[in-house]
Structure 1
Amino acid sequence: MSNQTVSQVSTVTLLRFEGLNAFWIFAQMQKAPKILAKVPGLQFFKLMGSGGKNGFSKMLNVNIYALHCVWESESLADEFFEKSDAFSEFKNRTSELYTIYLKATRAHGLWSGTNPYETQAITPTGPIAVITRARIKLKFLPKFWSKVPSLGKKVDEVKGSIYSIGIGEYPWFMQATFSIWESYEAMHNYAYGNPLHMEVIKKTRELGWYSEELFANFVPYRTEGTWGKLDEQLQKLI
């Protein structure tokens, strides 16, 4: 749906854990969803791990996780991040934490059987964030992973790319990417101008690699916390 008065907002929180806290967060992958399911105003959420290097690797990164949430309103998101005991424990155990507030402008496909985003009629004039997500059919895993590491490496080299990371609910077959671009044009040029990326798109359509997939665009409009130099780069564009 598209509505200029939609109050729904999405957030992506990047979390870095070190030492023994890396074991704690690993255990939370099973425990936290039960707690998050009871949070007021939280319409949809995914707590995800990341891959090695920039996330586009079959090897796991035991230190970096991502919490993606869709909220009824920004005020309810703030209530959770500022006052929730559950999130306070996450925050106290991280060595670095960064939340990006987003407004969905385009979304198609399904994630766990639903499209959680209410899109808004906003024309992006600055940076744009993208979430892609897919459940890969088991028989196509070797083909998928023969392409993705090279594809992920190339993203970091593309003009206009600010940040990208490969994340997922379960290793290897339930994958998502989160990326931030200087502009819609930069994202579009990569998506449709990169030969390797176009080859992957073609194969997924021809062979039906995915049993479920989703693609969504967002306008980032607010940030909290730090993540290396990412916030400095993003704040110049917001």
Structure 2
Amino acid sequence: MLLVTLPAVVTLHLWQVSTHAIPRALVHMVADRRPLRRTPGLRFAKLLGTGSGRTFTVRDADPRQWGLLAVWDDPIAPMAFQDSGLPARWRRFADEEWVAHFEPLSARGLWSGQEPFGKPRPRVFEGPVAAVTRARLVLRRAARFWTAVPPVSADLHEAPGLRMALGIGEAPLGLQGTFSIWDSSSSLNAFAYGRSPHTAVIERTRQEGWYAEELFARFAVRSSSGTIAGVDPLGPGPR
């Protein structure tokens, strides 16, 4: 009998809250871990703080914006989750919610010792794509990493084809990541491999061994709903 393995379904929730609701969001970042572990169909999940990603230090953090990155066994599980208690509780006090669904196109590396997005066979996708980078820093080398980041981040935010870029992390320091959305694979490739600030940092990473663990993944963007900071990054209109 031939067993067919369905590709992972990846979702990202982003919630924006008012200043007075920040303490409530912080409570949820701790309290929601247990119910997440009991969620049917959930393979992997990380509750995330977000920020500008300009320096990957605590001064980048945006305490008004929080996220949940999740990997699911099938397309039905995230649909059921969206109507469940955890997102509903966030919606009670969040000013905005943005939810996007992705399909992995490629993935390399580990996150908390796991391969959360599996091992998809790399392929071409015509349409908007998303990218996640994530690393656990070697702490004694963190200072060199932080000095190298600002030129790359400044270049990222000016890159043609970029729709959205966030810093993401499970902790204020030492666990660094980015989430970005691009018009196309070609625009993402142009930034990743064709712009000197980024390629220079890639070379330094190899030479200096900044990371104890790292992961790079890209995704086909399948759908999105809602807004964050007043816009849908995948919606029509100027960006």
- Whether TM exceeds 0.5 here: the answer is yes
Contact kept? 1:6, 1:120, Cα under 8 Å = no
Aligned pairs (5 A) from 1:1-238:
6-51=6-51, 54-57=52-55, 58=57, 59=59, 60-82=61-83, 84-118=84-118, 119=120, 122-228=123-229, 230-231=231-232, 234-236=234-236
Q: Separation in 2 of the partners of 1:87 and 1:172? A: 26
Identity of aligned residues (%): 32
Give me the CA root mean square deviation. 2.0
1:172 to partner: Cα distance: 2.1
| Greater mean alpha carbon deviation, residues 178-187 or residues 139-148 | 139-148
1:198 to partner: Cα distance: 1.1
One-letter code aligned to 1:49: G
SS at match of 1:192: helix
Aligned residues between the structures: 231
CA pair 121-75 structure 1, distance change in 2 beyond 3 A: farther
SS at match of 1:73: coil
User: Which blocks of at least 5 consecutive residues in structure 1 are unaligned?
Assistant: none
1:55 to partner: Cα distance: 3.1
1:104 to partner: Cα distance: 0.2
TM-score (norm 2): 0.90
CA pair 122-79 structure 1, distance change in 2 beyond 3 A: farther
One-letter code aligned to 1:27: V
Deviations 1:132-183 (A, max 9, x none): 0000010111111112233222212111111100110011210110001111
SS at match of 1:224: strand
One-letter code aligned to 2:222: Y
User: Which blocks of at least 5 consecutive residues in structure 2 are unaligned?
Assistant: none
Contact kept? 1:141, 1:172, Cα under 8 Å = no
Contact kept? 1:42, 1:71, Cα under 8 Å = yes
CA pair 148-230 structure 1, distance change in 2 beyond 3 A: farther
| Greater mean alpha carbon deviation, residues 102-111 or residues 194-203 | 194-203
Q: Separation in 1 of the partners of 2:28 and 2:78? A: 20
